[in-house]
Amino acid sequence: MSKTYSDEELISRVWDVEEIKKLVHKRVYYIADDLRSEELADLWVSDPDHQKTASFGRNWGYYVGLDNIKTYYTDSHTALLELQKSANGASALNVGNLYAHPASTGLVELAGDGKTAKGIWYCISQETTARGDSTADAEWMMEKLAIDLIRENDGWKIWHLVIATDLHGEAGQDYSQQPIYVDWDSDAVRREFGVPTIEKLTHDATFNWWDDYPFMPKPYEAFHDAISYGPEGFVPPINKGWNAKEGRNYL
Partner 1 sequence: MNYSTEQLTERWEAQRSIKNLMGKYANCVILNREQDIFDLFWAKNHDDLSLGFNDGLYRGSEAVKGYYSAVRDRNALVASLLQKRFPDVLGGMSEEEIYGIGPFKVKPLACPVIEIAADFKTAKGLWYCQGAYNEVETCGPVAHWTWGYFAVDFVRDGDNWYLWHLLYLNDVDCLCGQSWGKVPQPLPDLPEFAPLAVFHAPAYTESKTLRELYSPNRPLIAAPRFPVPYDTFAHTFSYGGELS
Residues near partner 1 (CB under 8 A): 7-8, 11-12, 14-15, 18, 21-22, 25-26, 28-29, 32-34, 91-98, 100, 102-104, 124, 126, 128-131, 134-138, 170-173
CB of 92 to partner 1, least distance (A): 6
Q: How far is the CB of 194 from partner 1 (least distance, A)?
A: 22
DSSP track, 159-201: EEEEEEEEEEEETTS-GGGS-SS--TTT-HHHHHH-S-SEE--
Minimum separation from the CB atom of position 196 to partner 1 (A): 26
Least separation in angstroms between residue 61's CB and partner 1 is 27
Distances (CA, A) of 6 to 13, 79, 108, 223: 10, 52, 20, 22
- Given the complex with partner 1, which of 126 and 197 has the nearer CB atom? 126
CA distance 186 to 169: 14
Q: What DSSP line would sit under 44-95, residue for residue?
A: B--SHHHHHH-EEEETTEEEESHHHHHIIIIIIHHHHHHHHHHHHT-SSTTT
Nearer to partner 1, 169 or 194 (CB): 169
132 phi/psi in degrees, rounded to 5: -90, 5
How far apart are alpha carbons 249 and 239 in whole angstroms? 11
For partner 1, give the closer residue by CB, 155 or 241: 155
Whose Cβ is closer to partner 1: residue 18's or residue 221's? 18
CB of 44 to partner 1, least distance (A): 17
Q: What is the dihedral of CA 48, 49, 53, 56, to 10 degrees?
A: -30
**Nearest residue (CB) to partner 1, 156 versus 234:** 156
Cβ-based nearer residue to partner 1, 32 or 235: 32
Minimum Å gap between C-beta 166 and partner 1 is 16
Please give the single-letter amino acid code of residue 116: T
- Please, what is the minimum distance in Å from the beta carbon of residue 195 to partner 1? 27
Nearer to partner 1, 12 or 239 (CB): 12
DSSP label of 120? E
DSSP category for residue 222 = S
